[in-house]
Amino acid sequence: MRDLELLMPAGNLEKLEYAIRYGANAVYLGVVDFSLRAMRKGSLITMDNLKEAVDLAHKLGAKAYVTINIFAFNNDIKQLEACIDRFKDAKPDAFIISDYGIFNLVRKYIPEIPVHISTQTNTLNYESVKFWRDLGAERVILARELPIKDIAEIRKNVPDVELESFVHGAQCVSFSGRCLLSDYFSKGERKANHGNCSQPCRWSYKLVEETRPNEFLEINQDGRGSHILSPKDLCLVKQLPELIDAGIDSFKVEGRTKSLYYVSAVAKAYRQAIDEVLKNPSADLEKYFLELQKVGNRGYTTGFALGDNNGESYSYEISKGLAGADFLCEFQAIDLPPALTVTLPHGEGNYFPVKIKNKMLVGDEVEIITPDEQFIAKVEGIKTEDGEDLELGNTNADVYMKFSQSPKNPEYALVRTVGIK
């Protein structure tokens, strides 16, 4: 049986751990200045803790790939040379690279670390894959714009290199992120290919006629303008059997700026789907597609995978990802005060410390997910740290909560609403 990799984003240290706990056997991470996604909050991954992040992934039994996939100017090359030893000391399992100059530097100073070619290179054919292979690349991350049949042809012509493909997440209006809209609109302050895209493709636009500068005309008649550039999100969970047959080695999910809940729930769905397909190639994967509707999305599309990408792949009404289920709370890994401790340390009926993300009420029916479980339960009680009973828990509050059924291992448990809105 082939080793198939589920590669999840690691926007910060906490998300890195949850991604692996929920099913990823590899993560990709980047640091500000050298990555196309710059996180702004949480336990950010920086040059100072890059090694810690890679070590954490290895400790949890997963691989860690470090992205250095900006398009580099002279100053970027100088900056990279100044900290090349720190990248070397981190000892990732591979570097993800798109720029020829960065490729040369990494091969020169850190030849022992494999190189993966970023989707930013827009690799669309087998001759390009051969080119990168002959330069010494171990893996090529194919462009999102490839139909599955073309992937199969690439594998047939180049059997001796690893192939990686995006299967889920946001897409770019341009070829795999090679867009200058953000640069233009921000006068060079928000460079898309330096991790700071302002996402103009998600904005709502109106028309202005030259002689009537103050009259803004709707492009369509929905009253909200038109998101004429905003693609739907990619979702290929139901196409996993075809992608496996085509020869993909690693299935990649976009989303280093997405939430902890998003990373966990998506990893769980794809891990289960991949494992089921390996056991039964004709398995019905519709249930995993429904699971993925519970996380934020702009509507799903198969993009170019089936060779029929068209106007239906764009989200003309919304630009913000809307989740089919609300993320309600996460279990906290802290000790219970003595006043709230019951006979069994984590037995059914206990009060667990939780961080509320969206308002919760006593009596609410909720869905609890963990790396190993998924079940529906009822909120039976909410208490403050002092033991005071509450009827509701407000957003961002730290409280203690009792459920009709408790997770066997609550450390990484997450709670959401039931069903799909």
Residue 352 domain-assigned?
Answer: yes
Same domain, 45 and 114: yes
- In-domain check, residue 128: yes
Q: Is residue 33 part of a domain?
A: yes
Cβ burial of 274 (10 Å; 0-12, 13-18, 19+) is buried
Residue 379 to residue 357: CA distance in whole angstroms: 15
Are both 262 and 346 inside the same structural domain?
Answer: no
Claim to verify: residue 170 and residue 252 sit in the same structural domain: yes
Q: Is residue 393 part of a domain?
A: yes
Residue with the two structure tokens 């929905």:
222
Residue 355 placed within a domain? yes
134 compared with 336, residue with greater pLDDT: 134
Q: Are residues 159 and 55 in the same domain?
A: yes
CATH of the domain at 20: 3.20.20.70
- Strand 63-68 vs strand 139-141: parallel, antiparallel, or unpaired? unpaired
Is the pLDDT confidence value at 158 over 90?
yes
SS (H, E, C) 50-114: HHHHHHHHHHCCCEEEEEECCCCCHHHHHHHHHCHHHHHHHCCCEEEECCHHHHHHHHHHCCCCC
Binned at pLDDT 50, 70 and 90, residue 205 comes out as confident
pLDDT in tens, 220-262: 545 444 566 778 889 999 999 999 999 999 999 998 888 999 9
Torsional sign, CA 379, 385, 391, 396:
negative
- Whether residues 249 and 344 fall in one domain: no
242 in the same domain as 391: no
Domain that holds residue 349: 327-417
In a domain? residue 214: no
Domain membership of residue 122 (yes or no) is yes
Per-residue pLDDT band for 195 (boundaries 50, 70, 90) equals low
**Neighbouring C-alpha atoms within 13 Å toward the C-beta of 114:** 15
Same domain? 355 vs 250: no
User: Do 344 and 292 reside in the same domain of the chain?
Assistant: no
At 1 the pLDDT is: 54
Domain end: 313, 338, 356, which one? 313
171 and 254 assigned to the same domain: yes
pLDDT at residue 41, as a whole number: 55
The single-letter code of the amino acid at 61 is G
- Tell whether 335 and 309 lie within a shared domain: no
Domain end (from 287, 313, 339):
313
The pLDDT score that the predictor gives to residue 8 is 98
* Overall number of domains in the chain: 2
Supply the mean pLDDT for the chain.
Answer: 87
Contacts of 124 (CB under 8 A, 6+ apart): 142, 143, 145, 146, 150
135 and 167 in a single domain? The answer is yes
| Alpha-carbon gap, residue 237 to 288, rounded angstroms | 7
Q: What is the pLDDT of residues 352-395, one digit of tens each?
A: 999 999 999 999 999 999 999 999 999 999 998 888 899 999 99
pLDDT tens string 400-417: 999 999 998 898 999 999
Using CB atoms within 10 Å of the CB of residue 32, give its burial: 0 to 12 exposed, 13 to 18 middle, 19+ buried.
Answer: middle
Using alpha carbons, list the distances in angstroms from residue 271 to 44, 102, 117, 277, 364: 25, 33, 24, 10, 29
Last residue of a domain, one of 313, 342, 377: 313
Q: Output the pLDDT for position 36.
A: 55
Whether residue 102 lies inside any domain: the answer is yes
Quick: pLDDT tens for 40-96. Answer: 555 688 899 999 999 999 999 999 999 998 889 999 999 999 999 999 999 999 999
Pairing between strand 63-68 and 94-97?
parallel
pLDDT tier at 346, thresholds 50, 70, 90? very low
146 and 291 co-located in one domain: yes
Neighbours of 71 (CB within 10 A): 17
C-alpha to C-alpha distance for 201 and 220, rounded to whole angstroms: 17
What CATH code is carried by the domain that includes residue 392? 2.40.30.10
Residue 262: its H or E element: helix 260-279
Residue 37 pLDDT > 70, yes or no? no
